[in-house]
Every structure is written in structure tokens, then in C-alpha cells.
Amino acid sequence: MVDRPLPESQRRRRAVVRVIVAGGLLLLAAFAVAWMFSRPRNVARVRRSTVTIAEVEQGTFVAEVRARGHLDAREVHFISAASPGRIEAAHAEVGDAVEAGQLLFSLQNPEVQLAAAQADSDLAKAEAEVETLRTGFRTRRLELDEERIRLRARRERAEREHASHKELAAAGASSPGELATATTELHEVTALLHATARRAKELERSEGTELKRYRERIDHLTTVRDAQHRRVEELQVRAPRSSVLKERPVQLGEWVTSGKLLARVVDPHDLEAKAEVSEADVAEVAVGMPARVVIEQTTVRAEVHAIAPSARDGAVDTRLRILDPLPASARIDQGVDIFIETHRAPEVLTLRRPVGAVANAQSNLFVVDGDEAHQRIVRLGEASDRIIVIESGLAVGELVIVSETSRWDEVEALKLIE
């Protein structure tokens, strides 16, 4: 089949139709634009002073886990009963500041006090016995000394008589019997002196043995006496150091056994922070992470140093070491706000977190331009309690309304008036 050219008249009619259609379309478009610009805009009038405006900045984003917490003592000292007894008096109340050595409790135990009195009596009796023993040995030594003196005098006489009879016997003036008698006397006296010396040595040895045995007994009784008196002293329970009485879980009149907890005391100046981190957030927290602790209007640096292995009531106890001096008003159990830094993202766009803004989501924000604010779709990134990262939709220096704007969700723009 062969295409034939259209007649000239038909081609002209088609060209006219195309021109008419194009003109109609242009006319419709013009009417649509005019209608859009002529229709009233949905604009709300808002006083500038009633909204909060923040500026988009570029810098380092610090991700933080926020938790409520309180100040707590870094070390707790437990005071237990060293001796059993009945609590007769409590000399300090919970919250009282106590000095080292200050009396906290007075306990009564008649058996302990009687045992101490008996130990005193046993020691006194043993000391009296050893003094009697020493007196006896002194008397026997004196008797031996007197006997030695008599025997030495007797030996001197026997020596003189023996010498005299020996001279007379040599001259023939003395009989052999008299010389023999003098010789026997001299030998007897000499033997008695030797025997006395042996008795003195035996007495000295016996005295040393007896006194050693008594000294060992007295040492033992002294140890027992001291132990019993310590038990009596332990009935008066004292503070081990300057501290604050944190807890007193016993009552007046209560009988307590050895080892029973009587009180907990803490150093009011050696404090740490204790945070209750939610189970959802604790996975991001690790020992060694830096943190800041806000105490009233003061912020101090801190560091995570312990995380409990289990949760309690949906929270995990996390302890932080305070690195800066605390304000003078800081006290145990004082409530604080704790911000634990989990990581940093350098050189990102950040904005004060708008009310209701959800991290890692898309949001409509009012961007301020002069005296108006227009809604704009913005992609948000990670967020902390105060700051949120801007992934797209905003530029450095732009101003954004960050206060509550949900009541203007249906308006196109806000007219900011003074």
C-alpha cells in the first residue's frame, strides 16, 4: 500500500486545530496559576515571644544516656556486735554526725561482766601464790646461808685443832687418837659444806622451774583477763571514724548476738553518684565512660566505674566516680541528674531537639525566614536528651522553631508578630 500526500486544504485545517488546542491549554494553565496565587493562604499569626527558636549548627554531637540518680557514700562501714548483749542505750540517731571513738550503743551482758570479774580474781590469786612461792624460796636461801656460815666457822676451828694436834703429835705431846678425832671432824665439816653448796644449787634450780611454771600460768591468766575485759569494752560500741550514721537496724532492749549488724556509717565527704539506668539504655553504657553529674545548678565531671550485673524494677544500678570537687551543699541521698556520654560524632549538623522530635525519623519543622516560618520536611538522625542530628533538609545557620508546634500541623506557614 502506498501513502498519498494530503491535500493542501486538509493540512491547513489540522494546523489550525493544533494552534487552537495549544492556546486553550495555555489559557487553562494561566487560570490555574492565577487561582493558586489569588486564593487566601492558610497562615497562622503567632507572637514570636511565645515560641522557641534555635539555630542549626555544625560541630561535634555527643550522644548521652540520661538517668536520675542520687549521691551516695563511696564506702560504707558496717558496725557489728563483737560480744552478745542486750541494747541498753543508743547514743546517736540516723543522720547524726559522729566523731571517731564516739559512743553509739551501750550493751549489757551479766555473763560477760561476771567472766571478767572471775578472770581478775584468778589472776590476783595466781600472783599471790607466786609471791608466796618467792617468799618460801627466800626463807630457805637464808637458812642455807646461815648454815654455811656456821659450817665455815666450824671448819676453821676444825682446821686449827687438826693443825695443833698434828704439831703435838710430831713432838710426841699428843696421842694418835686425838689427831684422828681432829682429822675426822675436819673431813665431816668439809663434807657438810659441800652438801650445803649442792643443796643451794638444787634450791636455785627448783626455784627457777617453779617460778617459770607460775610465770606461764600468770601470762595465760593475763591473756584471759585482757580478753574478758575487751569483751566488756566491746559492750560499749563506738564509731570507728568520723562519719554519719546511715542506718540503725536494731531497737532498744533487743538482744543481739556476736556479728549482728548494729549500724552502717558513711563518710559524708567521700561521695559518688549512683544512677538508675533503664534496661533499654544500659546496653550502651560501659565502665570507663565519661559522664557529667548535675547537682542543683553545679555540673561536675564523673566516670562510670561499676555496673550492677542485674536489673531491679526495670533499672540497673550504675555507680560513677566523681572527678571534680563537689559543691559545699552536696549531701548523701541528694537527687542529681546524670548524663553518661556513650559516643561522639564530629562535624555534623545539630539542632536543639524540637519538642516531640523522634530520632532517626522524618519530621515537619517550621523553618524561620524573616517574619514567617514555613513547614519543611527534615530527616533527623540520632539524638540525645537535648540535641538531635540533622541528616538532610536544613543548612547551617537556618533558624527552626523547636517548641511545641503540633497545633499548627494543618497550616502552611506561621506569621511571626512582635
Claim to verify: residue 214 and residue 339 sit in the same structural domain: no
Are 376 and 412 a contacting pair, CB within 8 Å?
no
59 assigned to some structural domain: yes
Does 254 have pLDDT greater than 50?
Answer: yes
| Cα distance between residue 368 and residue 416, in whole Å | 9
CA separation, residue 307 to residues 277, 278, 300, 311 (Å): 10, 12, 20, 10
User: Which of 200, 228, 256 is at the close of a domain?
Assistant: 228
pLDDT tens figures, 195-210: 888 988 888 888 888 8
- Structural element, H or E, at residue 225: helix 176-234
101 assigned to some structural domain: yes
Claim to verify: residue 192 and residue 277 sit in the same structural domain: no
51 assigned to some structural domain: yes
| Cα distance between residue 113 and residue 83, in whole Å | 11
For residue 387, the one-letter residue type is I
Using the structure block, give the residue that is written with the C-alpha cell 630457805. Answer: 140
Residue 38 confidence class, pLDDT cut points 50, 70, 90: very low
Are 411 and 367 a contacting pair, CB within 8 Å?
no
Give the cell for residue 282.
Answer: 544500659
Claim to verify: residue 289 and residue 362 sit in the same structural domain: yes
Claim to verify: residue 298 and residue 316 sit in the same structural domain: yes
Claim to verify: residue 103 and residue 247 sit in the same structural domain: yes
Give the cell for residue 120.
Answer: 581478775
Are 321 and 306 a contacting pair, CB within 8 Å?
no
What's the pTM? 0.54
pLDDT tens figures, 53-90: 999 999 999 888 889 999 998 888 899 999 899 999 99
Claim to verify: residue 358 and residue 377 sit in the same structural domain: yes
Q: How many residues does the chain have?
A: 418
How many domains, the chain?
3
Claim to verify: residue 276 and residue 407 sit in the same structural domain: yes
37 assigned to some structural domain: no
3 Cβ contact partners less than 8 Å away, ≥ 6 residues apart: none
282 assigned to some structural domain: yes
pLDDT tens figures, 99-110: 999 999 999 999
Task: Find the range with the poorest average confidence among 2-16, 309-323, 395-409.
Answer: 2-16
Q: How far is CA 211 from the centre of its chain?
A: 53
- The enclosing domain of 328 has a CATH number of 2.40.30.170
Claim to verify: residue 92 and residue 147 sit in the same structural domain: no
361 assigned to some structural domain: yes
Q: Which domain holds residue 403?
A: 45-72+270-417
94 assigned to some structural domain: yes
| Cα distance between residue 368 and residue 400, in whole Å | 6
- The enclosing domain of 256 has a CATH number of 2.40.50.100
**How many CA atoms, within 13 angstroms, populate the side-chain half-sphere of residue 77?**
15
Higher pLDDT, 63 or 17: 63
pLDDT tens figures, 139-173: 888 988 888 888 888 888 888 888 887 777 777 77
Does 394 have pLDDT greater than 60?
Answer: yes
Claim to verify: residue 308 and residue 209 sit in the same structural domain: no
Claim to verify: residue 49 and residue 79 sit in the same structural domain: no
27 assigned to some structural domain: no
Claim to verify: residue 401 and residue 278 sit in the same structural domain: yes
Does 35 have pLDDT greater than 50?
Answer: no
317 Cβ contact partners less than 8 Å away, ≥ 6 residues apart: 274, 275, 276, 307, 308
Are 390 and 349 a contacting pair, CB within 8 Å?
yes
Claim to verify: residue 215 and residue 327 sit in the same structural domain: no
